[in-house]
A and B are shown apart, each in its own frame.
Chain A
Amino acid sequence: MKHDQVPAELLERYAAGDPGINPDELWAVEAHLEGCASCRERLGAAVQRQSPATTALLARVGDRLAAEIAISTTMPRRRRGQVLGRSRWLLPPGLLARLAMTVLLVLAALSLDLVDQQGRGEYPSLVLLFAPVAPLLGVAAVWSRRLDPAYEFVMASPRAGLYLVLRRTLLALMVVIPALAAAGWAVGASPARWLLPCLAFTAGALALGEVVGLSRAAIGLAAAWVIGVVGPSMLTATSPVLLAPGALPAWAALTAVVAIVLALRRDTYTGLRSGH
């Protein structure tokens, strides 16, 4: 039950530094003053009346402060919420570089597809073939000593964990998937065909990364796909079975299983390892 004002006499005694104030009243006054600007204003006046020592102290400090701020500057202005925003959505420079590389690769694949379409159009779409593993180049940089300069700090921190990795991965996907969608739209490779495999590979890299390291897992899976599916597919100029519409339910099931495995093993990517 809060009252509006501290009674005048009590305020004067508090300002004077009176040691005889009842403990409960003292407590109430101090708790109240923290929330009430008008009582603080009144206290200011009371201090001038009641306590020359405090007034002198305040004047001394005020002078020193005025001298200090005349010669030192405040920090640069920043946008609202910049600390949290910057930290929460921060992408290490290595990841940004990898994402840029990925977009370039998508563009390269798109160009080759367009050239092919101008010609005899006999090859399957490179954009489609590349799409499932496109994010992996970026995912490899999400939790990497080489590509994240602050890795030492991140992996030793309380916030290290699957959630942090997922957030960075999500940001990577938010760059790569629209790029793929745009490129795919240009050559008729709709997201319906590659989105699920894309998610399956991403989740798979995260899960496998717990065992062999995220970088290795991501690059390994990407390499396996390129060698095992993209290569033969281009050589034989046929669309891979794995990307046929009939295979989509299998991809969906795979993604679900991997996602469940990830969710169950939430104590991962904590940076605590066995010293190799």
Chain B
Amino acid sequence: MGAASEEWLVRRVADGDTVAFEELYRRTSPWLAVRLRRRCADDELVAEVLQETYLTVWRAAAAFAGTAIGGSAVGWLWTIAARRLVDAYRRRTREANLPPTVFGPEIVPAAEDEALRDTVGDEMGAALRRLAPELRQVLQAMVLDGLTVRETAVLLGLPEGTVKTRARRARIALREALS
């Protein structure tokens, strides 16, 4: 497949090309799996979400391939996966069967790679590190993972009010650190 983009692969999948589908899976599933496993400690659930995500792309490929839709294939994959993960948590909430939440690490400052720290900016990076884990978790869910307040509340097993409060506190803390 060479330098073919994932979007091109999706267009091929829309024509029913199973080889393209397998290639899409090969290229994107490791990233998706690693990321999901850092948010959900239940591997069976992660497997379920992965399967549903790729089946969605398989079933609706032509709809995703429409140029008017825009965006990157990887972007859609994450959005689909995140929503399915929240759906699974919603089902588990009713049964009081929530998988354990995966917290971020406790503050362990270490002199690691300068290069990547620059991506986040020194002050921002330091601020992120100093942020309390529960605040960072909300920030990650909303900003990085793109979830709404409602979805974040379901995923983290928190009331919506708490999610909002923590998001506000996180924003204040970051703003202070950057000023």
Contacts and interface: CB of A to CB of B under 8 A. Distances in A.
Given A14-B34, A65-B55, 18 more contacts: A22-B108, A22-B125, A23-B105, A24-B126, A30-B144, A35-B74, A40-B31, A47-B30, A61-B29, A65-B54, A74-B16, A74-B59, A75-B59, A75-B63, A77-B15, A78-B66, A80-B68, A81-B68
26 contacts: A7-B116, A9-B113, A17-B34, A23-B105, A24-B117, A25-B116, A28-B120, A29-B116, A32-B116, A33-B35, A40-B30, A54-B37, A58-B30, A61-B29, A65-B25, A65-B51, A69-B55, A69-B58, A75-B61, A75-B63, A78-B66, A80-B66, A80-B67, A81-B66, A81-B68, A83-B68
Contact of B144 (A27, A47, A69, A85): A27
Given A27-B120, A77-B15, A22 B54 contact: no
Interface stretch (B42-50, B85-93, B154-162): B42-50
B119 A2 contact: yes
Which range holds the interface residue count of chain B? 35 or more
A57 B61 contact: no
A273 interface: no
> For chain B, what secondary structure do more than half of its interface residues adopt (helix, strand, loop), or is it mixed?
helix
Contacts of B29: 58, 61-62
> For chain A, what secondary structure do more than half of its interface residues adopt (helix, strand, loop), or is it mixed?
helix
Which are the 9 A-B pairs with shortest beta-carbon distances? Answer: A24-B125, A81-B68, A44-B30, A24-B128, A28-B119, A47-B30, A84-B68, A24-B120, A7-B113
Interface of A: 1-3, 6-7, 9-10, 14-15, 17, 19-35, 37, 40-41, 43-44, 47, 51, 53-54, 57-58, 60-62, 64-66, 68-70, 72-78, 80-85
B104 A26 contact: yes
B47 A74 contact: no
Contacts, number: 182
B142 interface: no
B60 A75 contact: yes
| Most-contacted residue by chain A among B26, B29, B109, B126 (CB, 10 A) | B29
Nearest to A64: B51
A83 B59 CA distance: 16
A25 B112 contact: yes
Nearest to A80: B67
